[in-house]
Amino acid sequence: MVNKENIPKVEKQVTFLIVPFAFRAEYENTDRLIDHSNFEEKTPVSERLYDHVQNLISPQGRKYEAIGRRFVLKDEVRTKWNLPNRKDTFLTYQYSKQSFSFSIESIELYVFETQVGFVLFKIGHPKFSSIEQMIETNYHIKRLGKLRNTKVFYDKKTGKDTLLEQEIHLNDLIDSFLSNLEVDTYFEGDDTHVKQSLVFSAAFLNQPGLEESSVTAWLFRMQRAFKDSYKPVKEMENRRDLFIPFDNSYWGVSLEGMANIVTKTNDTTADQFFGTDYFYRLENTYLFMYILALHQRYALLYFSKQISLLPYQLNQIEDQLEKQNELITKFRKNIVNFMLKCSYNQVSNVTHQSELYEMIRTNLKIEYLFTEINDELYSLSSLMEIIEQKKLQLLEEKKREKSDKMTKGIGLLSFVYLPLTIIPGLYTMILPFITENTLNWILAVLITLLSFVPTFYLLKKYIWVRLKNDG
Which residue among 242, 276, 310 closes a domain? 276
Q: Answer yes or no: do 256 and 404 share one domain.
A: no
pLDDT confidence of 6, banded at 50, 70, 90?
A: confident
Whether residue 173 is contained in a domain is answered as yes
Q: Note the pLDDT tens digit of each residue in 163-200.
A: 888 999 998 899 999 999 999 999 986 667 888 899 99
Q: Answer yes or no: do 261 and 408 share one domain.
A: no
Residue 36, CA atoms < 13 Å, CB-side half-sphere: 5
Whether residue 323 is contained in a domain is answered as no
Which residue among 276, 300, 323 closes a domain? 276
| Mean pLDDT of the chain, nearest integer | 84
What is each CA distance from 286 to 120, 236, 297, in whole angstroms? Answer: 14, 24, 17
Whether residue 346 is contained in a domain is answered as no
Tally of domains in the chain: 2
CA 301 to CA 313: how far, in whole Å? 19
Domain containing residue 111: 4-276
Question: Model-level pTM?
Answer: 0.81
- In this structure, how many other beta carbons lie within 10 angstroms of the beta carbon of residue 458? 14
Whether residue 314 is contained in a domain is answered as no
Whether residue 372 is contained in a domain is answered as no
Whether residue 348 is contained in a domain is answered as no
Residue 356: which H helix or E strand, with range? helix 351-363
Whether residue 167 is contained in a domain is answered as yes
Q: Answer yes or no: do 74 and 206 share one domain.
A: yes
Q: Note the pLDDT tens digit of each residue in 282-314.
A: 999 999 999 999 999 999 999 988 888 877 777
Which residue among 257, 276, 295 closes a domain? 276
Angle in degrees, CA 177, 73, 116, rounded to 5: 50
Q: Looking at per-residue confidence, does 65 or 303 come out higher? A: 303
Whether residue 443 is contained in a domain is answered as yes
Angle in degrees, CA 50, 348, 243, rounded to 5: 155
Q: Answer yes or no: do 34 and 165 share one domain.
A: yes
